[in-house]
Amino acid sequence: MPIYEYHCQACDREQSLLFLNQREAAKSPRCKYCDSRRMTRLISRCTYHQSEAARLDNFDASTPRDESFYRDARNVGLWAKKRAKEMGADLGSQFEETVEKARSGKVLDDL
Ligand SMILES: [Zn+2]
């Protein structure tokens, strides 16, 4: 399933949208924050799995993040991963699973 990054011109936010197929992706999407259709697709962004390593490298765990940072689902769990990496800890597949759940919102549903 293709994932595209969009910039919303109405609320000036970036977001990644997941589409079921190429045909869905060709339609003009709505901003998930403000429901605007004034969305510009950002070209040449990689898919989620390719970009996570880069995000992890660029992520500074010592810098506090504002709320909007955590609204981006891809950033959920990034802090914990970074810290664990620095400490040389192996979080194991259980942690990966938890992060995936958190990113898809399933953890919140379970509470
Ligand atoms: Zn918007």
User: What residue ranges do the domains of the chain occupy?
Assistant: 3-42, 52-104
Packed helices 48-58 and 78-86: angle between N→C axes, nearest 10 degrees: 60
pLDDT value at 44 more than 60: no
Measure the CA angle with vertex 48, ends 91 and 35; round to 5°.
120
Cα of 44 from ligand 1 centre, angstroms: 21
Tell me the pTM.
0.38
Cα of 68 from ligand 1 centre, angstroms: 13
- Backbone phi, psi, residue 47, to 5°: -75, 170
- Backbone phi, psi, residue 71, to 5°: -75, -20
- What is the H or E stretch that residue 40 is in? strand 39-42
Cα of 26 from ligand 1 centre, angstroms: 18
Cα of 53 from ligand 1 centre, angstroms: 27
Strand ranges of the sheet holding 13-18, from the earlier edge strand across to the other edge = 13-18, 3-8, 39-42
pLDDT in tens, 53-77: 677 777 776 666 666 666 776 766 7
Cα of 13 from ligand 1 centre, angstroms: 6
